[in-house]
Structure 1
C-alpha cells in the first residue's frame, strides 16, 4: 500500500466556513484525504464549535475535486438511527463516488448524553450497538424493502433509494483489543490516534487487527491502518509547544473524563494541566528531519494512512510549512 497523507479538520476549533476553507487549501497543499469528527459538543466551551459533519461533508465534496473525505469518527448508534446514517452516506456516496469513507466508533458521553438525555451505557452495550448498526447500514446499501429485527434497531420494508455509487468503505475506530479485532474481521479499515503508550499499538491494537484479518471471510489486501497523528510543527519551537495548550483535553486519562458530559467542565480540567502534560500527546518539533524521525516508528509499525492533526489556530501557516517542508520528504522516503 502506498503512503496516504491526510488532514484532520478540527471541527471543534473552527467555525464551519473557516474549516471548509482550510480543508480546500489542504487539497491544494497536497494532502490526499480530509477527515472530520462528528461531535455534538466540543472539548472546550470557550470559542468552541460543533458543526454537523453530515452537512459539512456535502459542502466539502462540492468544494473539492480530488481528496477523499470521511468521518473520524461518527457514532451511528445513539443520536442517529443507523438507517439515517445509511441514507446520508448513500446520498454523499452517489454525489461523490469513490471519495467517501464512513469512520465510526462506539461514542463518548460528551456527545451522546446531552443530545439524548440517556444514561450512558457500559462499553459492552456500546460495542454491541456498533456491530448491529454497521450490519444494518450495509444491508440497507445492499438490499431493498429491508425488514430488520435486531436487539437495538428495527426497520420495516426500508429502502435506500440513493445508494453509494461503488463501494463506500467503513472504518472502525478503537482503543482496545475487542474493537481492534472486530475492525480487522469486519471493517475496511482501522482508526486510532497517536501519542499513547507504545505497547498499546505493538501489543494490543495492531496484533488484534491482524488476528481479526485472519478471521475474515476473505483476504483484505487493501485493509487500511489509519492513525491520526497529533503533530505540532512550526519553525518556532516555542510556538509549536504553546499551540498544544488548546487541545490539553486530549492528555486527560479515560478515567478523568469518562463521566464528564459538559464542555465547560472538560475545559476546566484541561486548563488545569501544565503545558508539559498538554503537549504530551503531540509530536512537537521545528526541524523537518527530526519530525519525520518521530513519525517513522508509526510507519514502521504498519500504519500507511497518516492523518495529521495540527493544534494551532493558524492552520494556513501549518499547511504551508508542512506542505513545503514535511510532506515531500515523507513521500520521498516512504513512498
Structure 2
C-alpha cells in the first residue's frame, strides 16, 4: 500500500499548504492529495484557500511528489470545462504527476453559487455528464454538447498534456460505484469497506486502483491529541449522507454538539503510539485499497507530524 499525505485546505493557509507539500515530499510520503473547499467544516478549522492555486504552487515547489484532488466537484462552483482546463494545466506544471479526483460534492461548498442543492440522484447524473465532458476535452479537439445539465459550445484545451490526468471518482454506494466503474480510472473512498470496491470492480473497475483516506491526530500528549481531534473533527461522525447535505459551519457545529472526545478517539488514532496508527491503517489494506492518504488533524501540528512520520510512522507502515 502506498501511503499519502493530505493537504487539508480547511485547516491551513495557502503558503503553509505549499510548505507542507514540500515537507511531505522530504518525509518520503508516496503521494499527496488536496481537499477542494470553499468553506471549512467548522469555524475552528478557520481556512479555505483555493485548492487549484495551491496545486499550481505545489507542483512547482516539489519535484517528485504525485498530486491529486480529493475531491473536486465539477458540477456547481465549477463548470466541467473549467475543471478540465485546470486539471490539464496542473498536469503540465507537475510534469505528469497529477490525478483528478472528482465527486458529487457537498452543499457546504457548492451552495455559494446559489443554484440550489438537488437530490443525490440528480447530483450523480450531473457528475456522470461532467466526467464525460472532461474526458472528451482530454481527448483533444473541439467539444460541443447539449446535455441535460450542461451546455458546451466549441470548447477546446489548447495546452493539453500527454498523457492527460487519470480520473478518480468518489464512491459511497451502488450508484456511485457503478458510475466510477464505468467512467473512472480509480476509485476514491473514505471508509474501509470491501463491498464498495467489489461493486466498483464489478462495474468495470477490476484492476484499477482504489485510494482511501484516514484522519489521524499525532501529538506526544495523547490527551491534547484527543482534545484537538474533537475540536477539529467532530463533524466527521455524521457520515457522508449527512455531511453532503448541511449548508454551513453552523449546521456541522450543531450536528456534532453531542459528539464526545472519546467518540472521536474511537475512529481517529490519537497520540504517538505507532501501533495505534498501524492498527487504524490495516482495515484499508485488508479491504483491498492500494493507496491511503493520511490527514493529520490540526493545522499547526503539520511540521511535527511530518517529522514524526518520517522517523517512525512511515517505516512502520511499510512493514505491512
1:131 aligns with 2:116: no
User: Counterparts in 2 of 1:38-77, with a 5 A limit?
Assistant: 38-46=36-44, 48-77=46-75
Contact 1:8 1:36 (C-alpha < 8 Å) held by counterparts: yes
**1:158 equivalent in structure 2:** 155
| Secondary structure at 1:5 match in 2 | strand
Structure 2 distance, partners of 1:35, 1:319, is 15
Q: How many pairs were matched up?
A: 318
Instruction: Work out the CA distance in 1 between the residues paired with 2:186 and 2:245.
Output: 29
Q: Secondary structure at the match of 1:12?
A: helix
1:265 Cα deviation after fit: 3.2
Alpha-carbon displacement from aligned partner over 1:48-68 (angstroms, at most 9, x marks no partner)? 111111111000001100000
TM-fit CA distance, 1:46: 4.0
User: Would the aligned equivalents of 1:248 and 1:279 in 2 still touch at CA under 8 Å?
Assistant: no
Among 261, 270, 279, the residue aligned to 1:275: 261
TM-score normalized with structure 1 length:
0.89
What is the rounded CA distance, in whole Å, between the counterparts of 1:263 and 1:238 in structure 2?
A: 25
Instruction: Return closer, same or farther for 1:45/1:291 CA change in 2, 3 Å cut-off.
Output: closer
Paired residue for 1:192, among 189, 205, 226?
Answer: 189
| CA shift for structure 1 position 208 | 0.5
Return the TM-score normalized by structure 2.
0.93
Alpha-carbon distance change, 27 to 271 in structure 1, aligned in 2, over 3 angstroms = farther
- Asked if residue 308 in structure 1 is aligned to residue 306 in structure 2, the reply is no
Corresponding position: 1:329 with 2:311: no
CA distance in 2 between counterparts of 1:97 and 1:126 reads 32
Tell me the secondary structure at the aligned position of residue 292 of structure 2. Answer: strand
Displacement of 1:192 in angstroms is: 1.0
The CA distance in 2 between the partners of 1:50 and 1:269, in whole Å, is 21
Unaligned runs of 5+ in 2: none
Task: Sort the Cα spacing of 1:253 and 1:168 in 2 relative to 1 into closer, same or farther, 3 A.
Answer: closer
Task: Identify which range, 235-244 or 54-63, moves more after superposition.
Answer: 235-244
**Counterpart-to-counterpart distance in 1, 2:116 and 2:283:** 40
String of CA shifts for 1:52-110, please: whole Å, max 9, x gaps. Answer: 11111000001100000011000001111100111111111122232001000001111
| Superposed counterparts of 1:221-300, under 5 Å | 221=207, 223-245=208-230, 246-254=232-240, 257=243, 259-300=245-286
CA distance in 2, matches of 1:295, 1:285: 15
Superposition deviation, residue 254 in structure 1: 4.8
228-237 or 34-43, larger mean C-alpha shift? 228-237
Counterpart contact for 1:233–1:322, Cα < 8 Å: no
Deviation at 1:289, TM superposition (A): 2.8
* Cα deviation digits, residues 251-293 of structure 1 (max 9, x gap): 1245655542122332343354211223343133532234313
Q: Is the 8 A contact 2:3 2:29 kept in 1?
A: yes
1:76–1:258: structure 2 CA closer, same or farther, 3 Å change rule?
Answer: closer
Residue aligning to 2:95:
97
Q: What is the SS of the residue equivalent to 2:78?
A: coil
Counterparts of 1:85 and 1:15 in 2: how far apart (Å)? 22
C-alpha RMSD of matched pairs (Å)? 1.9
Residues 6-17 of structure 1: pairs in structure 2 closer than 5 A? 6-17=4-15
Listed as ranges, the matches of 1:114-129 within 5 Å are: 115-129=112-126
Deviation at 1:247, TM superposition (A): 1.1
Q: Distance in 1 between matches of 2:244 and 2:282?
A: 32
1:233 CA drift (Å): 3.2
Q: Distance in 2 between matches of 1:233 and 1:180?
A: 32
3-state SS of 2:60 partner: helix
Paired residue secondary structure (1:326): helix
**Which ranges of structure 1 fall in alignment gaps of 5 or more residues?**
none
Instruction: Tell me the CA shift for residue 146 of structure 1.
Output: 1.7
2:107 aligns with one of 109, 112, 118: 109
